[in-house]
């Protein structure tokens, strides 16, 4: 009787081995898929961080542009008022500061794209 039981168990293990191998293969495939998803999630996170940094830079550039437009507009208004009664002479301090500020920013804007490339 013992030999029959052992023989039946060996046959059963032999039949179930194929199923176990199939399950193991599927688990390996699943593990590979999880690794791939994790890699993609990391790439997406990096892209999100890059977009956030780019958005911040664009917002800063927009604010600076608005400030420059406001400053330039105020200088133009002062110039219009100044032309009515001006007879010449050196430009006002506001104008000189504006020219220096715009020249500095123009140089910065020229250098900035070269650094990012």
Separation in Å, CA 61 to CA 40, 65, 107, 108, 109: 31, 6, 14, 12, 10
The domain in which residue 14 lies consists of 2-91
- Alpha helices by DSSP H, listed for the chain, are 2-85, 93-116
Residue 114 is assigned to a structural domain of this protein: no
Q: What is the pLDDT of residue 34?
A: 97
Alpha carbon distance 8, 2 (integer Å):
10
Residue 28 is assigned to a structural domain of this protein: yes
Q: In 3D, which of 69, 67, 72, 95 has the Cα closest to residue 82?
A: 95
- The domain tally of the chain equals 1
Residue 111 is assigned to a structural domain of this protein: no
Q: What is the pLDDT of residue 107?
A: 60
pTM: 0.51
pLDDT digits (tens, 9 = 90+) for 63-107: 988 888 888 887 777 777 766 655 556 667 777 777 777 777 766
pLDDT for residue 50 is more than 70: yes
pLDDT band at 55 (very low <50, low <70, confident <90, very high): very high
């Amino acid at each position: 009787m013992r030999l029959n039981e052992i023989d039946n168990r060996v046959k059963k293990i032999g039949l179930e081995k194929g199923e176990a191998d199939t399950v193991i293969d599927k688990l390996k495939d699943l593990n590979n898929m999880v690794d791939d998803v994790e890699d993609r999630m990391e790439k997406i996170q990096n892209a999100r961080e890059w977009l956030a940094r780019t958005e911040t830079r664009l917002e800063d550039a927009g604010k600076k542009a608005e400030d420059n437009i406001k400053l330039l507009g105020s200088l133009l208004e002062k110039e219009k008022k100044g032309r009515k009664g001006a007879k010449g002479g050196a430009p006002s301090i506001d104008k000189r500061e504006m020219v220096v500020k715009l020249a500095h920013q123009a140089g910065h804007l020229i250098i900035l794209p070269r650094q990012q490339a």
